[in-house]
Structure 1
Amino acid sequence: MRTVGVIVEYNPFHNGHRHHLEESVRVTGADAVVAVMSGHFLQRGEPALMDKWARAETALRGGCDLVIELPVPYATSAAEWFAYGAVGLLDATGVVDCFCFGSESGDIDALRRIAELAADEPADLRGRIAEGLSAGLSFPDAYSAALRFCLAARGDSEAAAFPLEQPNNTLGLHYLIAWKRLGSRMEPHTIRRVQAGYHDADAPAGSIASATALRRLIFGRGRPEAIASYVPPVTLDVLRREWEAGRAPVGWPALKEQLFHLLVRLGAEELAGYRDIGEGLEHRIRRALPALERLEVDELIGLLKTKRYTRTRLQRALTAVLLGIRKDDWRPAALREGLAYIRVLGFTPKGQELLKRMRKAAKLPVLLSAAGGEGAGLGCAGARYLELDARATGVYALAAGAADPRALLRDYYEPPIIVRPS
């Protein structure tokens, strides 16, 4: 069974995602799809619209066969470690033959050439990045500029002109860097992203809009039907069900009480111990609190935002405080050791066949719940990351207004979702 891996958030699963799945199967000749999916908190540091089980269900009913969870320290990291965790998990399954990601360019050859340089981190690349940061550039801008300079110096003008500033091109590059560093035998593929851009905030005419635009429609109009023309029926079905149950939609407003409690309680020195907080951001946060006119996370981010402290970086920092992700959890050694388990969120009958193969082929223990981590020999980092996943569920459940205390510990007893053909 030829299997393709995809790296997703599905926040929410929309027609563009369905196109990517269909094209991934077509260009790779795959018979099955394994998806690595972020849990309750996402790569841009924000909470997911629906919980991870609901989103896994949309993935399975939308064309995936097996959904595994990307642990929260990777899921909420910048591109380098987000990609390392996702590609590493696909490789660790032992059953994924290839992986396919969307990009603005659709040019795998250029991306591979750039990844060859970046994966080795030559001294001139590191030096150029440091110069860019010293000049006040954000890390993504400093990184892109340094890569362009080094590629041009090596005579690859085509790769030097590659549009790295486009978000899916950037993620794709980091997927390939991780693939090279891991020494994976999976075949990489990319397909061109169609119509809506990753950050497009407005929904265009037609049937495809970005997830950002769809979330804006949902929160702006206050009803699931606002996105009906841009999503498959399964997404609307699941979103309606979660909405009626009071579990969705979740955004920063639902998390503000938990977050502000921590920001008020923690001193600057304590705040400095959390991931993505440094260079004086801890003092900036403390000064911003009394300057707020409204107790809203978006207003706080607006006061904190600078050229260096982008909205995404600030959201990741606030999520780290909210979930208790400390700098020790984010050190390269901890992140390399943190790929210690494969957590299954759901599967189809075909996915169940893959699971049987994984029992023999996987490089890591396969867990059907967090409780399965006990006695699995995960190591300190792995056990810590599994605990963080479970903690994220509790925090998210409180934000979603959980009335049942069991919802706070759902990771320990919830079995994988099984979706069978209708």
Structure 2
Amino acid sequence: MNAVGVVVEYNPFHNGHAFHLQEAKKSADAEIVIAVMSGNFLQRGEPALVSKWKRTEMALKAGADIVFELPYAFATQQANSFASGAVSILDAAGCDSLCFGSESGDIESFYRAISYIETNNEHYQRQVKSYLELGNSYPKASSLAFHDLNREKDLLDLSKPNNILGFQYIKAIQKQDASIQPLTVSRKSADYHDAHFASETIASATSIRKALFSEEGNIADLKQYMPETTYQALLNYRQEFGLFHQWETYWPYLRYRILHSTSKELSFIYDVEEGLENRLAAAALVSNSFDEFMKKIKTKRYTWTRLQRACVHILTNTRKNEMDKHEEKAAYLRLLGMTSNGRVYLNKNKSQLQLPLISKLSSVQGELLALDIKASRIYSMGAIGSAQQRLLELEFKQPPIFLD
């Protein structure tokens, strides 16, 4: 069975994602779609709108056949580590191809960019260093350096978030010598960070979340931008757990963690670098909301996303030595859900999977998995009342979701 892989967050699943799944299956001529999905905390350093289980349900009902979890140690990292973990899972699961959305839509432009940087690496690294010294963030410095070296009109724009991820997916495939063919489709209508609605049926997940959390936010007004199954899943989740998760929900816990810690203790936290611990502590003392706190700590050098990822690690008390010890590849396949076609695929290929398949946590241990469990426990603190306990127990009690 020919399998195409996708790397996703589905925060939440919307019509653009449905288009991507359809195009991925078609462009790869695949019978099976395998999704590697971030858990309860995401690459941009945010808590997911709804739990990984509800997002798995959305994915299966919309066309995915198998959903594996991207471990916390990769899901909350910068693009190269995020991509490396995801590619290792898709390769271990036997995917023939990986299809990603991009602003470029041209797979050859990615190969040209990789080849050009490799050929001119010494000069490129000097330019990156130069832009960093001017106070730019690393993603900005990298993009500026690349554009300085190659000003051709068909140049891949490495300032765009999906192009950056696609670039890293292909690099990871090459580095891991994975038997995966990369494919790309153009993003439809809405940009990844677009906070406004771009059409009558297509909107970015960012704009959907912004609308949900606005004062006049009404989920019924967003129905046109998502499949009916997503709409119903969101309604059910809010009814069961009392909310949609966002950073403001966790602000009291984050503030406590910062104010309760010494500067030295904060400096041990992953992604807290170069005296950032002092800036965090000073801002936490005088901020009444997460948004106010972020605006106080934001600098030209640190992107909003990078700072949010540091906040996730502070919230979960994830230290540098916990993250640094992990290799570039995942150590297991955590099964979150499957369709009947997905079950057939796994049964047929189980003996050929390159990593252990985990469907129950009770008999499994490991440091990488321990980070996932800890993250899920902290995430459950966002629920209201008795729903908090129900969400907490899901990590151990919820079997993989099966959609017949």
TM-score bucket (shorter structure): over 0.9
Corresponding position of 1:49: 49
Q: Which amino acid aligns with 2:382?
A: A
- In 2, Cα distance between equivalents of 1:397 and 1:226: 27
- In 2, Cα distance between equivalents of 1:327 and 1:34: 31
Mapped pair 1:268 → 2:263? yes
Contact 1:116/1:177 (<8 A) preserved: no
Q: Which amino acid aligns with 2:284?
A: L
Corresponding position of 1:169: 163
- In 2, Cα distance between equivalents of 1:330 and 1:322: 15
Q: Which amino acid aligns with 2:306?
A: R
Deviation at 1:410, TM superposition (A): 2.6
- In 2, Cα distance between equivalents of 1:179 and 1:145: 25
Corresponding position of 2:402: 418
Corresponding position of 2:376: 393
Unaligned stretches of 5+ residues in structure 2 = none
Q: Which amino acid aligns with 2:319?
A: R
Q: Which amino acid aligns with 1:25?
A: K
Q: Percent identity?
A: 38
Q: What TM-score, normalized to structure 1?
A: 0.91
- In 2, Cα distance between equivalents of 1:151 and 1:356: 48
Contact 1:202/1:213 (<8 A) preserved: yes
- In 2, Cα distance between equivalents of 1:275 and 1:400: 26
- In 1, Cα distance between equivalents of 2:205 and 2:389: 31
- In 2, Cα distance between equivalents of 1:110 and 1:372: 45
Superposition pairs of residues 364-383 of structure 1, within 5 angstroms: 364-374=355-365, 383=366
Superposition pairs of residues 136-285 of structure 1, within 5 angstroms: 136-151=135-150, 157=152, 161-220=155-214, 221-285=216-280
Aligned residue pairs: how many? 402
Deviation at 1:335, TM superposition (A): 3.5
SS at match of 2:327: helix
Deviation at 1:134, TM superposition (A): 1.6
Deviation at 1:373, TM superposition (A): 2.0
Corresponding position of 2:110: 111
Deviation at 1:222, TM superposition (A): 4.0
- In 2, Cα distance between equivalents of 1:77 and 1:118: 22
- In 2, Cα distance between equivalents of 1:235 and 1:74: 26
- In 2, Cα distance between equivalents of 1:297 and 1:267: 20
Which of 286, 293, 297 is the aligned partner of 1:304? 297
The 10-residue stretch of structure 1 (202-211 or 64-73) with the greater mean CA deviation from structure 2 = 202-211
Corresponding position of 1:408: 392
Corresponding position of 2:323: 330
Contact 1:390/1:409 (<8 A) preserved: no
SS at match of 1:357: helix
Contact 2:243/2:384 (<8 A) preserved: no
* Gap change, CA 1:335 and 1:163, over 3 Å in 2: same
Deviation at 1:149, TM superposition (A): 4.2
Corresponding position of 1:378: none
Corresponding position of 1:377: none
SS at match of 2:195: coil
Contact 2:326/2:368 (<8 A) preserved: no
Corresponding position of 2:96: 97
Contact 2:383/2:391 (<8 A) preserved: no
Deviation at 1:279, TM superposition (A): 1.6
Contact 2:189/2:199 (<8 A) preserved: no
Corresponding position of 1:26: 26
Superposition pairs of residues 64-75 of structure 1, within 5 angstroms: 64-75=64-75
- In 1, Cα distance between equivalents of 2:319 and 2:118: 26
Q: Which amino acid aligns with 2:198?
A: P
Q: Which amino acid aligns with 2:361?
A: A
- In 1, Cα distance between equivalents of 2:79 and 2:162: 10
Deviation at 1:204, TM superposition (A): 2.9
Corresponding position of 1:379: none
Per-residue Cα deviation, 1:267-308 (whole angstroms, up to 9, x for no partner): 11111111111121101011112232x2x1111001101111
Deviation at 1:45, TM superposition (A): 0.2
Contact 1:239/1:248 (<8 A) preserved: no
- In 1, Cα distance between equivalents of 2:145 and 2:207: 32
Contact 2:71/2:368 (<8 A) preserved: yes
* Gap change, CA 1:402 and 1:58, over 3 Å in 2: farther
Per-residue Cα deviation, 1:177-212 (whole angstroms, up to 9, x for no partner): 111111111111000111011111012331000000
- In 2, Cα distance between equivalents of 1:120 and 1:85: 26
- In 2, Cα distance between equivalents of 1:372 and 1:69: 18
- In 2, Cα distance between equivalents of 1:180 and 1:130: 25
* Gap change, CA 1:402 and 1:23, over 3 Å in 2: farther
Deviation at 1:164, TM superposition (A): 1.2
- In 1, Cα distance between equivalents of 2:377 and 2:75: 17
Corresponding position of 2:80: 80
SS at match of 1:34: strand
RMSD over equivalenced CA pairs, Å: 1.8
Contact 2:99/2:183 (<8 A) preserved: yes
- In 2, Cα distance between equivalents of 1:405 and 1:418: 23
- In 2, Cα distance between equivalents of 1:402 and 1:183: 48
- In 2, Cα distance between equivalents of 1:402 and 1:63: 34
Q: What TM-score, normalized to structure 2?
A: 0.95
